[in-house]
Amino acid sequence: MSPGEFELIERYFTGRGAVRDDVRLSVGDDAAIVTPRAGADLVLALDTIVADVHFPADTGSRFVGHRALAVNLSDLAAMGAEPAWALLGLTLPAADESWLAGFASGFDELARRFGVALVGGDTTRGPLAATVTVGGWVPVGEALTRSGARHGDDLWVSGTTGDAGAGLAILQARLAAGGAIREQLLRRFLLPEPRVGLGRSLRGIADACIDISDGLAGDLAKLCRASGVGARLDCARLPRSPQLLESAGEVASMRFALTAGDDYELLFTAPPASRHRIEELAAATPVSLVGEITAKPGIHLQGAGLERDLVHGFDHFTD
Amino acid sequence: MSPGEFELIERYFTGRGAVRDDVRLSVGDDAAIVTPRAGADLVLALDTIVADVHFPADTGSRFVGHRALAVNLSDLAAMGAEPAWALLGLTLPAADESWLAGFASGFDELARRFGVALVGGDTTRGPLAATVTVGGWVPVGEALTRSGARHGDDLWVSGTTGDAGAGLAILQARLAAGGAIREQLLRRFLLPEPRVGLGRSLRGIADACIDISDGLAGDLAKLCRASGVGARLDCARLPRSPQLLESAGEVASMRFALTAGDDYELLFTAPPASRHRIEELAAATPVSLVGEITAKPGIHLQGAGLERDLVHGFDHFTD
């Protein structure tokens, strides 16, 4: 970027997101300064989205701005953390003002909604990609992790799965849908909703938690490996939306629900004794009981006409 | 990346950098968890480097790994902060093991030297680029900023400037040099040394500080704008290395010293009463007195046969 462009872009990203009194120095210096929270651990995530890898390059820039932040907020949700601030590394081929305005508005709207201040970052010329770091706070020792699942735990998932994958398939003309169904599925891909409130509610309840970014089956396999356990997944209980079933049918909707990424729902485990408390949480965010954690490693699928082991997560499953 | 590649890459970036007892959860979960330091502010920087924008795409991967971290450590140095941990977003066209091994070793060597733990990140397929976030600590209220320069302050710069620009010019065959001169200038471009120790020493001494990433003249203009002041820069005092003078000659070496980026030296201001204390710091890191801060906005160049105003920083200067 030329210096003039730098300044233009800096203006686009100054004062974005929430106003927070723990931000001592924001966008415009060599680094940002924030005040830590007493009694809290600092939780940090970094995710990159790349054009034509994580989203079609011609996706509206408002959706790209939303996505760049949402995928990171989802990581903090999976830890049970409260997001506080973000830094943005944006690489783009040219300083296109209308593209930048859309990106900034999508980022800003989501950031304000979750109380996140944009405190710094870097804009560079290059192939379209965005890397965001989000930081937040969790009471000392209360963070959720992937590694705490125990034999006998219930396995839960929030919301519905597969919708975002179907939305991407519609965008890429691999799946046909029209009207309200099309709009709902596109929305699930374009405007993923991080489950920040649910994640915080699960502190002290869930034994393990992960967000579904790479597909339910693959992310379940990661959680199980990290915890040294296995899982039995009851496919008949997988929460599939009416829109997904209507557009994709029984077989393809199951494949989307199990293996498509980008849902950003939370997959978590908890002792059966916590069922009542978890069902109470469902008043704010729908959750479904979809299986159980087993001592034997590996993922066993059953229900809905399936009875098989997943050998290495979704890589082999999708063969 | 396919899941197999993910796992390969995760192994490359597990356990990199320093071992720190304030890291509660490192690479491998949805986010990292670190323990804040009592009595300290949290300082955060994010910088992206893109192939063929910030470094030639065929640069050895060890140098790319070094650079990705060094440019961020330099931002923390400019704030007077002590770096603690980093997250890495690496985008690369393919999971080339020898490239990854080189990148990881360059990153690791620098991280260990500065006590920085690599605690998380993301690896994605795409055009070669690396975004790093570095966090660190500074005693509450003691961070250096760009905005504290005052009329009458001395203007100082560390090390020598222009060498990295000459090194890049040699790499790109825009400048000829051989033997030890070539090696030294290439080294200044390929292995920039963040001035972390100097930055920390300047707490309580410097009024303002910035690192020179975009060229001394342009970065001085940013510091002056942020502080609402101007500067008189004595070009005869600019610290140019014998290698730069020998390879580029008087006129071109001055242009490199004033406008070439990538030096990652610190440019700072301090009251004249602090001269003795600053000269003592020079025992560890060379520093040069190169001008003074003026009440009148704008940068005035003098000495070495120059007598002119910089109108808008280096964009117009380099015309």
Residue B18 lies in a domain: yes
* E strands present in A172-305: 208-211, 230-234, 266-270, 287-294, 298-303
Q: CA of B284, closest CA in chain A: separation in Å?
A: 23
Instruction: Please check whether residue A87 touches B, CB under 8 A.
Output: yes
CATH of the domain at B240: 3.90.650.10
Residues in Cβ contact with A26 at an 8 Å cutoff, skipping those fewer than 6 apart: A14, A15, A32, A117, A118, A119, A120
- Are residues A112 and A177 both part of a single domain? no
Residue A292 lies in a domain: yes
Last residue of a domain, one of A107, A139, A171: A139
Instruction: Per-residue pLDDT tens, chain A, 319 aa: give them.
Output: 555 666 667 778 888 998 999 999 988 888 999 999 989 999 999 999 999 999 999 999 999 999 999 999 999 999 999 999 999 999 999 888 899 999 999 999 999 999 999 999 889 999 999 999 999 999 999 999 999 999 999 999 999 999 999 999 999 999 999 999 999 999 999 999 999 999 999 999 999 999 999 999 999 999 999 999 999 999 999 999 999 999 999 999 999 999 998 999 999 999 999 999 999 998 899 999 999 999 999 999 998 777 888 765 444 333 3
What pLDDT sits at residue A112? 97
Residue A18 lies in a domain: yes
Q: Alpha-carbon distance B230 to B209, whole Å?
A: 14
Strands A23-25 and A32-34: antiparallel
- Are residues A164 and A310 both part of a single domain? yes
- Are residues B246 and B286 both part of a single domain? yes
- Containing domain of residue B12, as a range? 5-139
Cβ pair B42:A34 closer than 8 A: yes
Which residues sit opposite A25 in a β-bridge?
Answer: A33
Residue B144 lies in a domain: no
- Are residues A83 and A163 both part of a single domain? no
> Torsions phi, psi of B115, nearest 5?
70, 30
Cβ pair B33:A312 closer than 8 A: no
Residues in Cβ contact with A296 at an 8 Å cutoff, skipping those fewer than 6 apart: A230
What pLDDT sits at residue A10? 75
Q: CA of B300, closest CA in chain A: separation in Å?
A: 19
Nearest chain B residue to A71 by CA distance is: B30
Neighbours of B211 (CB within 10 A): 29
- Are residues B129 and B256 both part of a single domain? no
Q: CA of B35, closest CA in chain A: separation in Å?
A: 5
What pLDDT sits at residue A318? 37
What pLDDT sits at residue A111? 98
How many folded domains does chain A comprise?
2
- Are residues A222 and A297 both part of a single domain? yes
Whether A298 and A232 have beta carbons less than 8 Å apart is answered as no
What pLDDT sits at residue A29? 85
Residue B69 lies in a domain: yes
Q: CA of A295, closest CA in chain B: separation in Å?
A: 21
- Are residues A172 and A311 both part of a single domain? yes
Instruction: Sort B54 into a burial class: Cβ within 10 Å, 0-12 / 13-18 / 19+.
Output: buried
Whether B9 and B123 have beta carbons less than 8 Å apart is answered as yes
What pLDDT sits at residue A164? 97
Instruction: Please check whether residue B312 touches A, CB under 8 A.
Output: yes
Cβ-based contacts of A36 with chain B (< 8 Å): 36-37, 40-42
Q: CA of A181, closest CA in chain B: separation in Å?
A: 30
Cβ-based contacts of A40 with chain B (< 8 Å): 36
Q: Alpha-carbon distance A185 to A243, whole Å?
A: 7
**How many residues does this entry show for chain A?**
319
What pLDDT sits at residue A257? 96
First to last CA, chain B: 43
- Are residues A249 and A161 both part of a single domain? yes
Residues in Cβ contact with B249 at an 8 Å cutoff, skipping those fewer than 6 apart: none
Chain B from 89 to 128: CB within 8 A of any A CB: 89, 91, 119-122, 124-127
Last residue of a domain, one of A109, A139, A169: A139
Residue B208 lies in a domain: yes
What pLDDT sits at residue B3? 53
Residue B182 lies in a domain: yes
Q: Alpha-carbon distance A207 to A258, whole Å?
A: 22
- Are residues A294 and A171 both part of a single domain? yes
CATH of the domain at B10: 3.30.1330.10
Buried b (16+ CB within 10 A) or exposed e, B109-147: bbbeebbbbbbbbbbbbbbbbbbbbbbbbbeeeebbbbb
Chain A from 7 to 36: CB within 8 A of any B CB: 24-25, 28-36
Residue A145 lies in a domain: no
- Are residues B190 and B306 both part of a single domain? yes
What pLDDT sits at residue A282? 86
Cβ-based contacts of A212 with chain B (< 8 Å): none
Instruction: Please check whether residue A65 touches B, CB under 8 A.
Output: no
Name the residue facing A50 among B33, B124, B209 (closest C-beta). B124
Instruction: Please check whether residue B139 touches A, CB under 8 A.
Output: no
Cβ-based contacts of A47 with chain B (< 8 Å): 89, 122
Cβ-based contacts of B313 with chain A (< 8 Å): 3
Under DSSP, the state recorded for B268 is E
pLDDT along chain B (319 residues), means of 10: 64 88 89 94 96 93 98 97 97 90 96 97 92 97 96 98 96 94 97 97 97 94 96 96 96 94 96 96 93 95 82 42
- What's the mean pLDDT when you consider all of chain A? 92
Angle made by CA atoms A266, A196, A89, in degrees to the nearest 5: 100
Last residue of a domain, one of B105, B139, B173: B139
- Are residues B129 and B19 both part of a single domain? yes
- Are residues B205 and B94 both part of a single domain? no
Instruction: Sort B187 into a burial class: Cβ within 10 Å, 0-12 / 13-18 / 19+.
Output: middle
Q: CA of B307, closest CA in chain A: separation in Å?
A: 23
Whether B91 and B55 have beta carbons less than 8 Å apart is answered as no
**pTM tops 0.90:** yes
